[in-house]
Amino acid sequence: MSDTADRVQKIVVEHLGVEGDKVTQEASFIDDLGADSLDIVELVMAFEEEFGVEIPDDAAEKISTVGDATKYIEEHKG
Amino acid sequence: MRRVVVTGLGLVTPLGGDVETSWQNLIAGESGAGQITRFDPEGQKATIACEVKGKDHLWGFDPDKRVDHKVQRQVDPFIVYGIDAAGQALEDAGLTDMTDAEKERTGCSIGAGIGGLPGIEIESVNLHERGPGRVSPHFVHGRLINLVTGQVQIKYGFMGPNHAVVTACSTGAHSIGDAARMIAMDDADVMLAGGAESTVNPLGIAGFAQARALNTGYNDRPTEASRPYDKDREGFVMGEGAGVVVLEEYERAKARGATIYAEVTGYGLSGDAYHVTAPHPEGKGAELAMRMALKKAGLGPGDIDYVNAHGTSTMADTIELAAVKRVLGDDLSGASMSSTKSAIGHLLGGAGAVEAVFCILAMRDGIVPPTLNLHNPDDGTEGIDLVPLKAKKREVRAVLNNSFGFGGTNASLIMQKVD
């Protein structure tokens, strides 16, 4: 697992209170990890903080899986 | 009107994370007070409080037992305490497995006096330092007073009345009184009722200290600071926690063979119409509330065995006592009266509910809890049993529980044993 994926997984585990092995790159925040739309807002804020990236609302709306988040961060982090 | 009884109890207090630990410590004369650990109190006029202890403490509270990890992260501590106390009460009542039809007739009335002050403080600083885009999306609903009720009803699927009282330090008593009326009026068959509070944060401590309400002279002797009726009292000690009871329609409780702790027979409410923080100097509002509760219960002054006083360890203690004397008689007609705030501090919106649970346990066990630190009783207390220092055995068949709050709001509850 890449460093980014590893850190994304940790944040998701901490915020959603789910088991680490459920947080696969394919896992959907809402369908698989029990998040609601506000949880995703909070997760996006946590990713921004952790990686020093800005994730605008229109980009955030397209993030539905853990992999989507990892990919976006990889492409935009400094 | 339908009769209303108590069939379940739940507590999170500075003396324990559950009912029995809290009660056993209370009657053993333990104090929940200590130096504030939740934040660094340096620079505060008051550096002590009665905090709910962490799970590593012998009397500690373990939030993981009944509150989801995700919820814990999103909400203020008062909501966590409230959800847990409600869960305890439901388990105690044996009502964790209700049908959908029963859930539609089950509601909540769990309030708070102030609500999520710690979270408001944290997010205000966050907004100021880092901007609006960093404010938590859970900020609002994680701080709202009615979100103990909201969280509990979502967790257990209850679809009856969804209610939350906000009457400062009378909240817990009003919550139980209002909920009892909802059952009596056939709005619901079962209600979880009570109050929760947690304002042991810099803004809460500073605010009450600036209002000249908090004890500030015993910072080096925390367990001696809360001393209701004592000549050397000089302000209340902040407490935190939650108390919740299960109220149930009597025939329903009897039919299912529930343990019936007590019947809620009297409820009185009034306003002082005098001052925002000070009670009416003659305690007229308090007297009105007590008289109304007695009348509703159909009891006379000699029928009350135990009074759990509001007794915050402020100058107002003697005002309350004078009002109780006018209602029950100069010797309280033999009733014992104590303030359990001497041990757990003032739980604000949680106080009336936690104290109602203590009243019920006093009836169950035939023992009245003590007023700690009462070494030099103030003038006007002569001939009255204020249960100084040590708990006392006595039969208790009827209790009067008083709560008064800022804004001049008064509530009195009467509960009785059911034969």
Give the pLDDT confidence of B144-196 residue by residue, as tens digits: 999 999 999 999 999 999 999 999 999 999 999 999 999 999 999 999 999 99
Task: Give the gap in angstroms from C-alpha A71 to the nearest C-alpha of chain B.
Answer: 23
Q: How many CB atoms lie within 10 A of CB B42?
A: 7
pLDDT at residue A78 greater than cutoff 80: no
pLDDT, tens only, A23-34: 999 999 999 999
B232-248 per-residue burial string, b: 16 or more CB within 10 A, e: under 16:
ebbbbbbbbbbbbbbbb
| Cα B49 to chain centroid, rounded | 16
Mutate which of B69, B70, B139, B141 to disrupt the A interface (most A C-beta within 10 Å)? Answer: B70
Stretch 275-304 of chain B: residues touching chain A, C-beta under 8 Å? none
Residue of B nearest to A19 (CA): B69
What secondary structure does DSSP assign to B36-69, as a single string?
Answer: --SS--TT-S--EEEPPPPTTSTT---GGGTS-H
Dihedrals phi, psi of B101, to nearest 5 degrees: -65, -40
Nearest to B137 among A16, A17, A38 (CB): A38
- Give how far the C-alpha of residue B345 lies from the chain's centroid of Cα atoms, to the nearest Å: 10
Could you list the active site residues of B?
Answer: 169, 310, 346
Contacts of B288 (CB under 8 A, 6+ apart): B268, B270, B410
pLDDT at residue B4, as a whole number? 98
Does the CB of B136 have a partner CB in chain A at under 8 Å?
yes
CB contact under 8 A, A15 and B134: no
**Tokens for B367?**
């023992």
- Least Cα distance to B345 among B336, B354, B337 occurs for B354
Using a CB-CB cut-off of 8 Å, the residues of chain A touching B73 are 15, 17
Q: CATH number of the domain at A3-76, please?
A: 1.10.1200.10
A16 touching B, CB under 8 A?
yes
Per-residue confidence (pLDDT) for residue B338, from 0 to 100: 98
Report, as ranges of residue numbers, the positions in chain B whose pLDDT lies below 70.
none
Q: Which residues of A touch B134 (CB under 8 A)?
A: 45
SS3 state at B152 = helix
B307 neighbors B400 (Cβ within 8 angstroms): yes
Cross-chain Cβ contact B68/A17 below 8 Å: yes
A38 to chain B: which residues are within 8 Å by CB?
A: 137-138
**Which tokens in the block code for residue A1?**
């697992």
Let me know: does B6 contact B245? Beta carbons within 8 Å.
yes
Q: Where are the domains of chain A?
A: 3-76
Would an 8 Å CB–CB cutoff place A15 in contact with chain B?
yes
pLDDT at A22 over 90: yes
* Number of Cβ atoms within 10 Å of the Cβ of B211: 12
The mean pLDDT value for A47-57 works out to 94
pLDDT 10s digits, B199-246: 999 999 999 999 999 999 999 999 999 999 999 999 999 999 999 999
Contact B69 A17 (CB under 8 A): yes
The predicted structure's pLDDT at residue A1: 63
How much is the pLDDT for A4? 94
List, in sequence order, every beta strand (DSSP E) within B198-287: 241-249, 262-271
B43 touching A (Cβ < 8 Å): no
Supply the residues of A annotated as catalytic.
36
Residues of A with Cβ-Cβ distance to B70 under 8 angstroms: 15-17, 34, 39
Q: Does the beta carbon of B64 lie under 8 angstroms from any beta carbon of chain A?
A: no
